[in-house]
Every structure is written in C-alpha cells, then in structure tokens.
Copies of this chain bind each other. A is one copy, B any other.
Amino acid sequence: MTREIEDTQAKAEVLSQALSYIRRFTGKRVLIKVGGELFENEAAAKSLASDLSFLRTVGVDVVLVHGGGPQISKAMKQFRKEPVFVKGQRQTDSETLDLTAMVLLGDINRRIVSLLNVAGARSIGLSGADDSMLLVEQLDPELGFVGTVREVNTDPIDRLLEYDYIPVIAGMGVDRSGQLYNVNADSVAGKIAVAIGAEKYILLTNVPGLYETFGEEDSLISEIDSHGLIRLISTNKLSEGMIPKVESILSALKGGVKDAHILDGRMVHSVLLEIFTPEGIGTMVKNG
C-alpha cells in the first residue's frame, strides 16, 4: 500500500465517522445566527456558505438569522449621521431606521442569499415584515424604533423549508400597523429557534467560545450546561458583548432547543467541524 492509498483510507474514515452525525441531524432543524462582521471576511463568508450547503444537502433544515452592526455604522458615517446611545442601546430615529432597513435587507441579506445560491444551496431572503413574520412592540419610547419580538409567525419559514430552501432572515420586525422596527438579531435568533422547534442553535461570533476566566485563552470552556451558564453570568465572567448572546441562548434552551453552540465564525468550516466531527471547536451549551 502506498502513501496515496493511506491518505485515501483516512479520507474514507472521515466520511464514515461523519455518518452517525449526519444521521442524527437529517430531517432536523438547525438555526444559525451570524453577525454582520463575518461578511467583511470573504473566506469566512464563503466557508460558511459551503458549510450550510453541506447541511442542506444531507437533509438538515437550515435557517440563518443575521445582523449587520458594522455595516449599519459604516452607512451612518457615510450619511454623516452620529450614532446616539441611550441606556447602552442605539437610539433609532426614523432616518436611522430607514438606513438600517436599507443596509440589512438591501445589502447584507441579499449578499448572503447570493453566496448561498452560488454555493449550491437554494435560498430566499426574508425580514420580519414578510407575512408579518416577526410581530414586535416598542422596547422603550426613548430608543425610538427599537422593538422586541412578541410573536413569531413561522409560516414563511415552514413553507420555504418544505421546499428545501434556506431562509435567510434579517432581524427586523413590524407592529400590527405595519410600522417597521429594528430588533436585536441575537434575540430574534433565539425566539425563532424556539418557534420553529430547532434541535440546535449555533451562534457564530468572533471569539473562540466562552472562557472560565475572560482573557485567559487556556480557560476556554468546551462544554457547559444552562446552570453553569447562569453561574458564569452571575460571576461577571463574560464580556459585555457576550451578554445578549448568552441570554438568547438561555431563552432558546428554556424554550426547548436541545443544545446551543458558540463558535468562532472566522474559523474556516467551523460549523461543519462542530456538527460532523467528534472534536469540539467552541463552547457547547447543553440543555439541563
């Protein structure tokens, strides 16, 4: 047997090993949340598209929810509009809202859709306004058009999954009068994960996962349960940006999602590795 054959056998082993994972998730729903920053990194974006295409091909129902913070900030700068923060959240006046919608729906969403289509997965973009999918109410009058999700109408998602599409969802919602609102994408993702009965909820971030001690690379947590996560929050061991993500995970698990993952989206094929190989590459949060 030559070296070539040996490598070949190793390849076969990888596929063979993946089999049990594929079997476990075929026919199940997986919700993936990704921030806007990932799409500034072309390699990461393409690798994500390829991974989601893989998931879809082996029969997993994939739903993608995306944000777009960096792109919105950039667009505001171009319009010479200064971001105002109230209670730590971006105040959203009518002009900011319009700009947000234009960036999320008219730019990021359609780019992701095209990336997925080119990677061979058929995808369609949605926002919470489509079929009034995300019914929201105002979070706080001082914040302007910032909403919080009250009801998720899963009809558009169910219909698209039925035809093997990957729905790509921008985190905006509408109230009963049809008024648009901006909504935090992590929170939207958690709510949708519960509403569609997702088996798994994956949060792609720009850190490798959660740390026992913030700042110490060695303390990366590879597995934790919801109780552990609550303890972690209560001891202030999380970075500020991680708080809404962790809260969205806790609410998803409470709502019945089996497990959640925090992965570094910048790592090539992070989703594939997390789901289809025995090795962990981020933090997995088990329900319990």
Distance in angstroms between the alpha carbons of A12 and B58 in the assembled complex: 15
User: Is A140 in the interface zone, CB < 8 Å from B?
Assistant: no
B residues near A28, Cβ cutoff 8 Å: none
| Interface locus among A84-92, A113-121, A141-149, A197-205 | A113-121
User: Is A32 in the interface zone, CB < 8 Å from B?
Assistant: no
Question: Are A125 and B123 closer than 8 Å at their CB atoms?
Answer: no
User: Is A231 in the interface zone, CB < 8 Å from B?
Assistant: no
User: Is A105 in the interface zone, CB < 8 Å from B?
Assistant: yes
Question: Are B12 and A5 closer than 8 Å at their CB atoms?
Answer: no
- Looking at chain A's contact residues, the main secondary structure is helix
Most buried by B among A174, A178, A268: A178
Contacts A129-B110, A131-B123, A178-B114; is A13 near B105 (CB within 8 Å)? Answer: no
Contacts A78-B79, A107-B101, A163-B159; is A180 near B269 (CB within 8 Å)? Answer: no
| Residue from B15, B117, B127 in contact with A14 in the complex, judged by beta carbons closer than 8 Å | B15
- Complex: chain B residue closest to A156, CB-CB: B124
User: Is A276 in the interface zone, CB < 8 Å from B?
Assistant: yes
The range of chain A's interface size is: 35 or more
* 8 A Cβ contacts from A125-179 to B: 125-127, 129-132, 155-156, 159-160, 163, 165, 174, 177-178
Residue numbers of A with Cβ under 8 A of B are: 1, 3-16, 18-20, 22-23, 26, 50-51, 53-54, 57-59, 78-79, 98, 101-107, 109-110, 113-115, 117-118, 120, 122-127, 129-132, 155-156, 159-160, 163, 165, 174, 177-178, 180, 268-269, 272-273, 276-277, 279, 281
Q: List 7 A-B contacts (CB under 8 A).
A: A14-B15, A15-B15, A19-B53, A101-B110, A117-B178, A123-B130, A125-B130
A-B contact sample (6 more), CB < 8 A, given A14-B14, A57-B58:
A3-B9, A15-B276, A117-B174, A118-B178, A123-B131, A159-B159
